[in-house]
Amino acid sequence: MSALFAPGRRANAYRGRLAPSPTGLLHLGHAATLLTAASRARSGTLILRNDDLDQQRSRAVFYQAMLEDLAWLGIHWQEGPDIGGPYAPYSQSERHPHYLAAWRTLRNSGFLYPCKCSRRELALAAAAPHESDDEPNYPGTCRPLAAQPLSESPTGQNWRFRVPDGESIAFHDQHFGPQQFIAGKDFGDFLVWRRDDVPSYQLACVVDDAAMRITEVVRGADLLKSTARQLLLYRALGLQPPEWYHCPLITDDNGQRLAKRHDALSIRALREQGKNRELLLSRLLDPEREKSKQF
């Protein structure tokens, strides 16, 4: 079985979003993606969303730094946690009722089952895969063979989405072209809720992008596989998926993906070193930049 997930015709104008997590300083890798998102939204609406689901790692100081760094990059948004807008609140920590409603829909439709596997295995699920390696394939340990009675609330248990094994999930990426992943092979049953009552990145992202009427999601290429997972959530929730534009990842001199541990490459540090913003921006947006990694 194969399904091509194509967005329907949209009468509405472009709505894009920036969705950084306030768990560290923005660095050059983020900047490239954020600038691309801003550029693609220039004739539409740009939304800033504060992806602060991970309350243990999110810090107000990083949220403030995010606002300052985005301003320094010359990025302006029309809706966000600092200015409000028609789809407020724009901080994920304030959107719990939306996630709970989605959990309930999925539960009632038979897509979910509780998972009793160890905390260690599951610790990464609330963080965007940007922040860590992609979620490992779940071996199906807790997947029930037959329907079972389920609790009325997700609290206190981990919950997984049962993927349709063997189904090909295909979509068109605006940058990388046709993409295809096989459910049950390229990714397994994935977490939608943690026992500490935090929805997973996958669920929160879909719920918010749909609620905020996002027409195109621009993000890093490390999330291509997450897009396949999220398309299954869109379908299960009866929601219209957006279009997708994944950005090539910037690597350091050793070919390692830039991460928050590269403190020297934070926007803040470059700014404090007096780096020229226009030069930085022109290099980040230069399609040849992958050949010249010196900033």
- Name the minimum Å distance from CB 205 to Zn ion: 22
Nearer to Zn ion, 52 or 189 (CB): 189
Task: Please write down the HEC assignment for all residues of 210-253.
Answer: HHCCCCEEEEEHHHHHHHHHHHHHHHHHCCCCCEEEEECCCECC
Phi–psi pair at 206, nearest 5 degrees: -65, -45
Region from 114-122, 196-204, 247-255, 268-276 binding Zn ion, contact rule CB under 5 A: 114-122
Quote the least distance from Cβ 254 to Zn ion, whole Å: 36
Minimum CB–partner distance for residue 150 and Zn ion (Å)? 15
Of the candidate residues 18, 26, 106, 115, the single one contacting Zn ion (CB under 5 A): 115
221: how many CB neighbours lie within 10 A of its CB? 15
Q: Which residue, 49 or 162, has its beta carbon nearer to Zn ion?
A: 162
CB 293 to Zn ion: min, Å: 41
User: Which is nearer to Zn ion, 115 or 214 (by Cβ)?
Assistant: 115
Of the residues 117, 150, 221, 237, which one makes contact with Zn ion according to CB under 5 A: 117
Question: In the set 3, 67, 100, 142, which binds Zn ion (CB under 5 A)?
Answer: 142
CA distance 208 to 98: 8
Nearer to Zn ion, 25 or 115 (CB): 115
What single-letter amino acid sits at 63?
Y
d(CA 183, CA 169): 7
Which parts of 47-106 interact with Zn ion (CB under 5 A)? none
The CB-of-117 to Zn ion minimum distance in angstroms stands at: 3
By CB under 5 A, is residue 37 in contact with Zn ion? no
Radius of gyration of the chain (CA): 19
Enter the tokens of residue 102. 């989605």
Q: Which helix (H) or strand (E) holds 279?
A: helix 277-284
Q: Number of helices (H) and strands (E), helices first, in the chain?
A: 8, 10
**Tokens 């992008």 — which residue?**
209
Stretch that binds Zn ion, among 78-86, 102-110, 116-124, 255-263 (CB under 5 A): 116-124
Q: How many residues would you count in the chain?
A: 295
SS3 call for 131? helix
Binds Zn ion (CB under 5 A): choice among 55, 64, 78, 141: 141
Shorter beta-carbon distance to Zn ion: residue 142 or 170: 142
Amino acid at 108: N
Write out the H or E segment, with its range, that includes residue 269. helix 267-272
CB of 140 to Zn ion, least distance (A): 8
Q: Tell me how many residues contact Zn ion (CB under 5 A).
A: 4
x/- string (CB under 5 A) for Zn ion, residues 172-201?
------------------------------
Minimum distance of Zn ion from residue 283's CB (angstroms): 45
The answer to whether the CB of 22 falls within 8 A of the CB of 59 is: yes
Contact positions vs Zn ion (CB under 5 A) = 115, 117, 141-142
